[in-house]
Structure 1
Amino acid sequence: MTKSRTLFPCFIFAILAVTLVGCGRRRELPKTGPPPVTVAPAIKRQVVDFDEYTGHVEAVSSVDVYAKVSGYLDKVAFEDGALVKTGQLLYLIDKRTYQAEYDQAVSEQKLYEAQEKLANVTLARNEKLVGKGAVSQEAFDEAVASAAEATAQVQASQSDIAAKKVNLDYCTINSPIDGRIDRTYVTIGNLIQSGVGNPTLLTTIVSVDPVYIYFDVDELALLKYIEQSVEDKDQRADGSLKERKIPVEISLADGTIYPHLGLVDFGSNEVNAATGTLTVRAVVPNPQGTLRPGLFTRVKVAAGPPYEAVLVPQRAIGANQSNRFVYVMDDKGNAIVKPVTLGSKQGPLQVVKTGLNEGEQVIVNGTLLVRPDKPVKAEHTTMPEPPPIDKNLLRNEDQEKPSADETKAEVEEKPKQS
């Protein structure tokens, strides 16, 4: 009982304290002004769209080196992985057997030449005596046949010598092309087999400069290229890609841009129905040997001629599910949402196909604080510039086309000249 009386005043005191606090003055939240943002006028510049593909490097020439005669390997005359020239010595096969066969063929030729000489002398003598009746006609005919047989044996021996000389020369294996050689697959002292059955592969050689880069173009891009080429130059739709002289830019796996441009010189004669792609080849200079067969690369191809486009920074573009938009500040200082249709990326900028006009004040920083149709506190700046157009990546017909401003200037200039 005593304990309950002690706790009751404490409980009453707590209730009074809470009541007094609740009846006090409410705390007011600080008032905030319009969010600070950065705005810049949308710019219009001439840009070019590019398509990118994955490619791989192949050698223009690739040779598997085999021996044409069998024998034991006597010498390897190159360093593994070195650059070799056409005609440079690579291997020597033991030639003693082939040298003996060649010497024997030469000796046989001398024997047949001596027999031919005797047959011709006998024929000449019998030809004089047959008219006098000193030699029978039968003996004369035998002399004629013997002379012809001796001549044929000499000719056969000459052919045999040529064949034996070929085999002897095949003991020396030289490089058939300029290029980089692989390691030797056979070392000195091993037996090398030739022929059709199971010949011994000695090494391989690949050419270095230039190289081919193969990549696959999807059928939609292919149709676009063909349609554009037909419109620009009135070419046949089935014309050779080599005639169109399409330049390409190569970048390596680490992102490094290769310093030399390539040129498309071949396209397959049919589209792969399974993948919907066409295999295309570009030839690329490789004077330093940087590009090795088998390397994967990125291939950049101009998708069309230069055109005028409205550009904004990529960070200024917002997303609402599948839609894209930008915030634009109107004359009253309010942020207005403008849905846009996007095009290609141009460095830090993005092409806006529809929904935005040149000069509109686009909010480029602080978009997370912006509320639609609410005022903003703007700080003005300028748009960055897109990357300059590399004229080397444009086809000849695209380079010759003037821009819209140049065409307009020419039209205005003509009345003055007249």
Structure 2
Amino acid sequence: MELTTEFCGMPLENPFILASAPPTASIEMIERAFQAGWGGAVTKTIKPDYMKIEDASPRFHALKEGNRVIGFENFELVSKKDLQYWKNGIKMLRQKWPQKTLIVSIMGDCSRESWEELAKWAEDAGAQALELNFSCPHGMPEKGVGAAIGQNADITRTITAWVSQAVHIPVIVKLTPNVTSVLPIAEAAKKGGARALAAINTVESLTGVDLKTLTPYPKVQGWSTLGGYSGPAVKPIGLRVISQLAQHSDLPLSAMGGISTWSDAMEYISLGADHVQVCTEVMVSGFGIIKHLLAGTLAYMEEMGFSCLNDFRGAALKKLTSHEALTKETKIVPEVNHQTCIKCGKCIIACRDGGYQAISLKEGQISIDRARCDGCALCMFVCPESAISHAKAAER
């Protein structure tokens, strides 16, 4: 089985690379990730030295389910390290780790000169490709960059063209999900000369309010601001965006958004992604998760009989269609495993108040009225014991 893949002409030893974020904030961190087994990395977004950046503290907040982080908000900004630091580090990484893929994320100001100079600088430093940060949803849009660019097709096309014409290496545009549709922005990026697309950046969010002080989180001396949301909770949005891009654009896709397990990554690849980027799970669990990602991927491929990633890349797209095209001729009536059912009544309540009033308790057992049941499957997802499953399809 082969985990090597290719992206914009760049070989990847495996499909897992680090996203542009806190885990790639320094050369030392990127090198430790390479040592751990990651196939590549995208640097934390690099800016011109004259662009002053200051972070607030604290700047992270998490939604948790038990001990697991399921949603993560941040309003951390781009790299504060200067260009000389990054130039020295990028050159070292390219020389020491030639088998790894190193993509440089950049963000200029609103001028052509800023973007062109930064792009040429990154190419000279040894970047194998550029990722244009048109998608940061917090802090930077106030300065007219970040998502302020990626929410405007004309500006996206213009700046992409500036950069594409200034360098010889591939230019990747990182898209924001904070738009009505990503497709016009993706098309604008392609017209500007982008060789690939990356998606998604974080979702603009506000994860909670301290009801004792009536202050939103994270609290910075009694104040807060909107941040970017990541982690497992945003995976459905990422999968939606990647599937849309794969169906409507012919550009290669670098996918991210809520990837914490090998199966998350394989879902993205089955929808057309060329490889995946990971951030939040690394922040909470460390670079060492790469071992589980690689092992899980290899085990899955062996089980399915796949010899390489291309054997199933985009396969799930073939089963995406319009709602109109879905059959309405059958319904799936659930059945109950009475041996595992604990008679908690959650299915009865859910069906009564959110479904079709088809479930009741009869003679001490859960009973489903097949005539009333409409096959919505709500009961299956509220059952804490997974005691309700699909029965065979029946004609309506």
Common fold by TM > 0.5: no
Which protein has the larger Cα radius of gyration, Structure 1 or Structure 2? 1
Higher share of residues assigned strand: 1
